Amino acid sequence: MQSVVVLFVMSLLVFVGVYAIGNPIDILINPQADQIDRERAIAALGLDKPLWEQYLVFLKGALTGDLGRSFVHATPALGLILTRMPATMELAIAAMLIAVVLGIPLGLWAGLKPNGVAGRTIMAGSILGFSLPTFWVGLMLIMVFSVMLGWLPSNGRGPTMLLFGLVPVSFLSWEGLSHLVLPATNLALFKLALLIRLTRAGTRESLLQDYVKFARAKGLSNARVIGVHVLRNIMIPIVTVIGLEFGSVIAFAIVTESVFAWPGMGKLLIDSINLLDRPVIVAYLLVIVTLFIVINLVVDVLYSALDPRVRLAEAKG
């Protein structure tokens, strides 16, 4: 319900905003066209109607699942975004995997040995990862790994295959995977730094907790203390953050997608903003909000699976 209100407000905002910025026909139409052609094109896209009427038309369509057609591509805006979605999701998931697979062990290490050389180096690295602007790192990666070393392709998405006969993905072939490495690394960097810091902080805090001290006192092996007690305890906030940050990865993919010419929906959004392709902007928002609702739901479920206290509280409440 809440999200419906959000959607409503956002779509209204975008409608008014884009309307105020300019008329897409001014950019879209061929300059050779005269005034009469121009007026005809404006009418063809329904832009001659007053704003409230355009909005009502949109609302009516939206209720039946029709978010309008892209001004530029002539295809339904929703379909357009859905065709771009697998590319973005693939990139985001790959980035998240990299961040988790590297971030948690590194953070754990830094947390266990906060004053060692390795621990300090990891932390210094994470501050760097936090501070480096994504777009700048992207180009540096291209410079080094594609242009200078020639190891990896500089941009674009490799050949795709259908996963489950439905979703086109590129990670099933070597070539596809090679296209994925650089952008995914680029996108992962910020989240990697974040995860390192979170894991470190969590580890440090949990090492001070009584149950860890107790487990130690019981004479449990170090590996077991860390593996079972510490890790399990810090997993809860980390899973939450991973879930929440997944949304932000999808959004941040906008930058990575522009640098690496990755044909995802973030790039589509930037293009659409530049062309004032309103139906696509609105549809993108709608898709993203829905996506976030789903992610939050999944996080909640995982959360209660991991933390018995939440389950108990829910059972009681």
Partner 1 sequence: MRPVPVPRRLAAAIAIAASVALGVALTAPASAQELKIAVAADVTSIDPHFFNLFPNNNIAEHIFDKLVQMDADSRMIPGVATSWKTLDDRTWEFKLRRGVKFHDGSELTAEDVAFSINRVPTVPNSPGPFSAYTKAIVGIDIVDPYTIRFRTAAPHPLMPNDMSTIYIVSKKVATGAPTEDFNSGKAAVGSGRYKFVRYVNGDRVEIVRNDAYWGEKPPFARVTFRIIKNEPARMAALLSGDVDAIEQPPTADLARLKSDPKFTLTSKISHRVIYFNFDHLDRSSPFVTGKDGKPLEKNPLTDVRVRRAISKAINRPAIAERVMEGQAIPSGQLVSEKLFGHNPALKAEAYDPEGAKKLLAEAGYPNGFNLTIHGPAGRYVNDEKIVQAVAQMLARVGITAKVETAPMGPYSGRASKQEFSFHMVGWGASTGEASSPLRSLLATFNRDKGLGAVNWGRYSNTRVDYLIEQALQQVNDENRMIMLQRATELAMADLGIMPIHFQFTMWATKKNVAYTPRTDEYTLAFQFRPVRQ
Partner 2 sequence: MSTVVPAVPEPAARAAQSPFARIASDFVANPVAVFGLVLLALIVAAAVFAPLISPQNPYDLAQLDVMDSKLPPGSKSPNGGTFWLGTDDQGRDMLSAIFYGLRISLMVGAASTVLALLVGLTMGLTAAYLGGRIETLIMRIVDIQLSFPAILIALILIAVLGQGTGKVIAALVTIQWAYYARTVRSAALVEKRKEYMEAARCLALSPARIVFRHLLPNCLPPMIVVATVQVAAAIALEATLSFLGLGLPITEPSLGLLIANGYQYLLSGKYWISFFPGVALLATIVSINLVADQLRDVLNPRLSR
Map the footprint of partner 1 across residues 277-316, applying CB under 8 A. none
Q: Which of residues 34, 115, 165, 210 is near partner 1 by CB under 8 A?
A: 34
Stretch that binds partner 2, among 36-44, 47-55, 73-81, 266-274 (CB under 8 A): 266-274
Question: Which of partner 1, partner 2, none binds 69 (CB below 5-8 Å, type-dependent)?
Answer: partner 1
Beta strands in the chain (DSSP E): 161-163, 167-169
Question: Which of partner 2, partner 1, none binds 108 (CB below 5-8 Å, type-dependent)?
Answer: partner 1
Residues numbered 238-267 forming contacts with partner 1, rule: CB under 8 A? 258-261, 263, 267
Name the minimum Å distance from CB 66 to partner 1. Answer: 14
Q: Does 93 bind partner 1 (CB under 8 A)?
A: no
- The amino acid that residue 97 corresponds to is L
In Å, what is the CA distance from 302 to each residue of 82, 143, 253? 26, 40, 24
Question: Which of partner 2, partner 1, none binds 194 (CB below 5-8 Å, type-dependent)?
Answer: partner 2
Find the length of the chain.
317
Residues contacting partner 1: total by CB under 8 A: 72
Ramachandran quadrant class, 277 (left: phi over 0; alpha: psi -120 to 50; beta: rest) = beta
Question: Which of partner 1, partner 2, none binds 75 (CB below 5-8 Å, type-dependent)?
Answer: partner 1
**Integer Cα distance of 176 and 169 in angstroms:** 8
Name the minimum Å distance from CB 241 to partner 2. Answer: 6
C-alpha triplet 47, 51, 57: angle, nearest 5° = 75
Q: Which of residues 245, 279, 280, 287 is near partner 2 by CB under 8 A?
A: 245
Residues numbered 1-20 forming contacts with partner 1, rule: CB under 8 A? none
**Integer Cα distance of 285 and 278 in angstroms:** 11
Phi, psi dihedral angles at 238 (to 5 degrees): -65, -40
Q: Does 72 bind partner 1 (CB under 8 A)?
A: yes
Question: Which of partner 1, partner 2, none binds 17 (CB below 5-8 Å, type-dependent)?
Answer: partner 2
- Residue where the block lists tokens 């975004």: 81
Residue 141, C-beta contacts closer than 8 angstroms, at least 6 positions apart: 182, 185, 186
